[in-house]
Structure 1
Amino acid sequence: MHDELLDLLLGLDGVRQPLRYHPEEDALYHSLQVFDLARRESDDAVLWAAALFHDVGKAIDGRTHDEVGADLLEGLLAPRAVWLVRHHLDLLREPRRTRRKYRGTRELADLERLRRWDLGGRRIGIRVLSAEEAVDLLVHSAIDDDERNVFTR
């Protein structure tokens, strides 16, 4: 599983993003920044996983990367993390509908945090972990508690 996740993440290396929205350009660098923000603000390893892998679908298709990424992660990450990857653009695309639909739920709180970290992970020239270090840290922080287990196997 470790190697599968690392391969998915490394697929983002060199994937360029529009400068207008991503001055940091590289999708891997962006994802590692988002992961770092999640680690600083939360002890929830499932949120860390969603932050780290939220854009893995960009290695295949930028336009539908949320759906593609979730499909790639199905069976590797916990259902909650996969759901967050699949829906991480909902607050961008349909903020009112999303807030109304998930009002008062953990899903909305998680989406709002992930959205904030996604927007914050657009800096140039900051130090981030390597992809290997990030996946290792995620694997070693996984908790056996069913509610917060990061992995499905």
Structure 2
Amino acid sequence: MSDAPQDDLPERASYRSILESGPQDYVIQGRYLKQHHAGIADLYLGFLKSLESPHLGFPVDRFEHSLQTATRALRDGRDDEYVFVALFHDVGDALAPANHPEAGAALLRPYIGDDMYWLVRNHGVFQGYYYYHFLGRDRDLRERYRGHPMFEKTAEFCEKYDQAAFDKDYESAPLSAFEPLVRRILSQPPRFVFE
């Protein structure tokens, strides 16, 4: 995101350490953060678009996989938050391929509920049910979560949407079909989560 929109706000906080800060400093910073947050949807959409390449040998690139996952959820009548999560579930690949579920979940957490956060954060091990055995890993690693309130919903997400979304002949909705939903969700004030 560019610093250009902030040029019309000449004020800056005056502290040299957080210990020296006062309420007026956070009023100033709050004005900048409001402008900064206005560009979050573009930033997240950029992360998503960056999954177009490389294809890494998959039948479709990760961007198309994301569109397919979201399109399937949309056509199945899932709610907006679910479709948003389906679209962005692999966005962590753009930043941290080695632990993309956790990275993606961290990016989405301020904008989604706890259940959907859990689904994104753990979908990788649930997706492993479909291929871990080809890599010499235990495909039943997801069983360690058996009994968790989101176990069945996460398993269903992977079965119906995630693992099925590698079809080069599938007609996905374009990103533009999801953009209003993305902008609506990301325009909400973020939940601040400190854990």
TM-score range, shorter chain: 0.7 to 0.9
Check if 1:18 corresponds to 2:34. Answer: no
Alignment check: 8 A CA contact 1:49 1:81 kept:
no
> Aligned residue for 2:154?
111
Partner AA of 2:73 in structure 1: A
User: 1:9, CA displacement in angstroms?
Assistant: 3.3
- Following superposition of structure 1 onto structure 2, how do residues 59-98 of structure 1 map, counting pairs within 5 Å? 59-91=94-126, 92=128, 95-98=139-142
> Aligned residue for 2:164?
120
Larger radius of gyration: 2
Alignment check: 8 A CA contact 2:80 2:181 kept:
no
Alignment check: 8 A CA contact 1:34 1:118 kept:
yes
Alignment check: 8 A CA contact 2:59 2:166 kept:
yes
- Following superposition of structure 1 onto structure 2, how do residues 31-50 of structure 1 map, counting pairs within 5 Å? 31-50=66-85
Name the Cα RMSD after superposition.
2.8
Alignment check: 8 A CA contact 2:48 2:88 kept:
no
TM-score scaled by length of structure 2: 0.60
> Aligned residue for 1:9?
45
Structure 1 stretch 128-137 or stretch 59-68: which is displaced more?
128-137
User: 1:115, CA displacement in angstroms?
Assistant: 0.9
- In the alignment of these two chains, the number of paired residues is 141
TM-score scaled by length of structure 1: 0.73
> Aligned residue for 1:145?
none
CA distance in 2, matches of 1:2, 1:36: 26
Structure 2 gap ranges (5+):
1-36, 133-137
Structure 1 vs Structure 2: percent identity of aligned residues? 23
Structure 1 stretch 78-87 or stretch 129-138: which is displaced more?
129-138
**RCO comparison, higher one (Cα < 8 Å, 6+):** 1
State the secondary structure of the residue aligned to 1:115. Answer: helix
CA distance in 1, matches of 2:174, 2:39: 14
Alignment check: 8 A CA contact 1:78 1:151 kept:
no
CA distance in 2, matches of 1:78, 1:135: 20
